[in-house]
Chain A
Amino acid sequence: MSPTIDSIRTDLLARKRSAEEIAREALKFAEAENPKTNAYLTFAPERALAAARAVDQKIAAGEDPGALAGVPIAIKDVILTRGLRTTCASRMLETYIPPYDATAVIRIEQAGGVIIGKTNCDEFAMGSSNENSAFGPVRNPVALDRVPGGSSGGSAAVVAQGTAVLSLGSDTGGSIRQPASFCGVTGVTPTYGRVSRYGLTAFASSLDHIGPFSRTVRDSARLLQVMAGRDEMDATSAFAPVPDYVAALDGNIRGMKIGIPKEFFDGLASDTGDVIQAAIQTLQKLGCEIREIRLPHTPYAVGCYYIICTAEASSNLARYDGVRYTRRSAAAGSLQEMYRQTRDEGFGAECKRRIMLGTYVLSSGYYDAYYLKAQKVRALVARDYAEAFEQVDAIVGPVSPFPAFKLGEKVDDPAAMYLSDIYTVTGDLAGIPCMSVPGGKTPDGLPVGLQILANHFNETAMFRVADAFERAA
């Protein structure tokens, strides 16, 4: 049995183990296993042990140790941790030590969570395979010759490998759900604005989310519960009250209306499709009413997404200019040369590609044809979902057109790699909550995630479907 938030809490309160013992074991195991996957970039033993001791002291004093008491948690290396190196998996920030903590990190530690390290990812969260890290790719713990997905590949891998109980990722176009699917764990992209992005390194601000990875649906619900809610430090964080997600998980989803979007089955590999069809039958057996729906603008979503995300990225990454963030090219003579040389040396190929594309679509004469057009298409994608949720409570489909592929298999064709984001980008464009829950395996034994999407702020419906499915699977 893998540990969960509940099992760790039970052990702690029964005094079977101390939080410090759990943290020491977790760190030792994670450091020993890491060479297999390269999933961690940095370990945080001092920080972890200090947090664990604080939990032990609270328990000894008879106080509530918090909702995440003693749970070993890994944080994607695009989320800032005060005093703990945060690289964004980029040469640009190889030695960057953040002067403050992300709000999500503060809330986790206030709830007794024990942060044990920072996870590898695609550089600045740009990629779908984790092969764009400046510090080497992550290997999928399920099949070490395959990618873990991206961009939050390290965060998915550590949970799959058991080197953390929970982790945080970030999702802009599928970067939580797709690696969750590839590694066979649960990954959640909450409603846009549900979790504060204060301290999340900005990639595409109108699309960026922080969300949890875990082995069980219940644990993701608990972790989201801790992080969710308005934060004064992020003006885009939502005021909407946060319901008790776990209380709603009674396993009964009889009568729920589930939409199956026809467009999510075009171009789907048959091994993945078979798993998804079986999952839909399971939901039917659980008493759900299955309805075919249409999301007609899905085929336009990838083009729309790559205009918006690259435009916003080109602007957000302008700050890495050799002045404020650690790296400056030694070759710099003039100010202009300093900017250019620093950026040329600091950014990897995928970051450059996206900065270039984003600069191009925003450049004089092209704004209307690209950026404005994409914003209009985004409205159509969002409208598809708004109309669908008038008829159904949740939508299910695949996460990725295919399961985890081999390292190096797709690196030479960026356009093809972008197209594989087809089933995940629409949820981000609309800003709705969506998640991947393990759906089954291909005949080759590779995990396939089932995607579940719900309307804005209806994480409860999404979690209920995922939890009932998990119990039945």
Chain B
Amino acid sequence: MKITEQEVRRVAELANLALTEDEIVRMTQDMDGILTHIDKLSELDTSNVEPMSQVLYDAEETATLREDIERKPLGNADALANAPISGQGYFKVPLVIEK
């Protein structure tokens, strides 16, 4: 096995997913199958290869910083329009700090 149920539980916590016991069992099987395939990458010697974090192509140098010109922002009402709960111009969440 590439991954245990115990590890899957830990990862679910990191990912903020509340998985049921059935989901944990199924997830462990699925992740194990995928990780087993992924193991194939270890056949390749990549010790002298630079990692590629973005698509690279030849291009002329360009200034990617725009002029510092004021622009109209989205606006408070639009930004909050999809919030499940908002009030007084803020997103509202359950109480975090007790008095």
**Beyond A343-B17, A382-B52, is A414–B30 a contact (Cβ under 8 Å)?**
yes
Q: How far is the CB of A394 from chain B (nearest CB, A)?
A: 17
User: Distance in Å from the Cβ of A211 to the closest Cβ of chain B?
Assistant: 15
Q: Is the pair A96, B82 in contact by a Cβ cutoff of 8 Å?
A: yes
Chain B, 31-59, contact with A by CB distance < 8 Å: what is the 0/1 string? 10111111111111010011111111111
Are A97 and B17 in contact, CB atoms less than 8 angstroms apart?
no
Give B80-92 as 1s and 0s: 1 = Cβ < 8 Å from A's Cβ atoms. 0111110000010
Interface size class of A (residues with CB under 8 A): 35 or more
Which of B16, B43, B50 is within 8 Å of A321, CB to CB?
A: B16
| B35, B62, B84 interface centre (most CB from chain A within 10 Å) | B84
Contact (Cβ within 8 A) A360 B27 = no
**B-contacting residues, A301-341, CB 8 Å:** 302-304, 306-307, 314, 318, 321-328, 332-341
In Å, the complex CA distance between A324 and B52 comes to 33
Query: Which residues of chain B from 1 to 36 have any CB-CB distance to chain A below 8 Å in the complex?
Result: 3, 7-8, 11-12, 14-19, 23, 27, 30-31, 33-36
Size class of the contact patch on chain B? 35 or more
How many contacts A-B (CB < 8 Å)?
161
Q: How far is the CA of A281 from the CA of B17 in the complex (A)?
A: 52
Residue B66 CB within 8 A of the other chain: yes
Shortest Cβ gap from A236 to chain B (Å): 8
Structural contact, A340 and B16, CB atoms closer than 8 A = yes
User: B55 touching A431 by the CB < 8 A rule?
Assistant: yes
CB of A300 within 8 Å of the partner chain: yes
**A359 and B11 form a contact (CB under 8 A):** yes
| B66 interface neighbour in A193, A232, A239, A341, Cβ under 8 Å | A232
B91: A residues at CB distance < 8 A: 323-324
Does B70 sit within 8 A of A, measured CB to CB?
A: no
Residues A360 and B11 in contact, CB atoms below 8 Å apart:
yes
Bound-complex Cα distance A168 to B41 (A): 34
B56-82 vs A: 1/0 string, CB under 8 Å?
111110101010000000100011011
Quick check: A323 and B93 within 8 Å, CB to CB?
yes
Give the residue name and chain of the A residue nearest to B54 (CB): A206
Per a CB cutoff under 8 Å, which of A356, A380, A418 touches B15? A356
Residue of B nearest to A353 (CB): B30
Residues of B within 8 A of A307 (CB): 38, 41
Is B11 a contact of A192 with CB atoms below 8 Å? no
- A357 with B59: CB separation less than 8 A: no
Is there a chain B Cβ closer than 8 Å to A246's Cβ?
Answer: no
Residues on B with beta carbons closer than 8 Å to the beta carbon of A377 = 41, 44, 46, 49
Chain B residues with Cβ below 8 Å from A191 are 57
* B17 in complex: contacting residue of A100, A300, A326, A340, CB < 8 Å: A340
Asked if A99 and B46 make an inter-chain contact with CB atoms under 8 angstroms apart, the answer reads no
Contact partners of A382 in chain B: CB under 8 A: 52, 55-56
Residues of A within 8 A of B30 (CB): 353, 414-415
Compute how far the CA of A363 lies from the CA of B8 in the bound complex, rounded to whole angstroms: 12
- With A and B bound together, what is the CA distance between A344 and B22 in angstroms? 13
Residues of B participating in the A interface, judged by any CB pair closer than 8 Å = 3, 7-8, 11-12, 14-19, 23, 27, 30-31, 33-44, 46, 49-60, 62, 64, 66, 74, 78-79, 81-85, 91, 93-94, 96
Interchain residue pairs with CB less than 8 A apart (23): A99-B81, A239-B60, A300-B44, A307-B41, A323-B83, A324-B91, A325-B82, A335-B93, A335-B94, A340-B18, A343-B17, A352-B19, A353-B30, A356-B8, A356-B11, A360-B7, A375-B53, A376-B50, A376-B52, A380-B44, A414-B33, A418-B37, A456-B55
